[in-house]
Amino acid sequence: MNKEIKKEFERVWQAILELGGARHDKISSPAKKKSSSKVSISDLVLSLKEEGFFDTPRSLKEIQNKLASKTYHYPITSLTDPIKRLVRSGKLGRIKKEGSWHYAKR
């Protein structure tokens, strides 16, 4: 019986190798694959900075409208955390203006 199991195992193993190997990263579900064509909100905001958009302090609403003019439509709630991370990392600055936060280049 052991010889039959070993023979069957070798047959299955050979079939796996012929299909592209037994590496688990090659046998993954399509839902787990990350698309490289997606652009993060942080990247979009940094591109606005490079364009000079943040030469003057801007509110979240102004940032949202500018992204929308470039066909990137996000609710303000989706912008707050990425912008906070950019402020913490020193890539953007913020000031309190008229009772709300405005963001500018550093």
Q: Where are the domains of the chain?
A: 2-32, 41-105
Structure tokens at 61: 């609403």
CA–CA distance, 57 with 1 (Å, rounded to integer): 78
Model confidence band, residue 36 (pLDDT cutoffs 50, 70, 90): low
pLDDT in tens, 39-55: 899 999 999 999 999 99
CA–CA distance, 21 with 28 (Å, rounded to integer): 13
Q: For tokens 């037994």, name the residue.
A: 22
CA–CA distance, 35 with 84 (Å, rounded to integer): 25
Q: Which CATH class is domain 41-105?
A: mainly alpha
What's the pTM?
0.65
| pLDDT given at position 92 | 97
| pLDDT given at position 40 | 94
- At CA 103, angle to CA 101 and CA 106, rounded to 5? 135
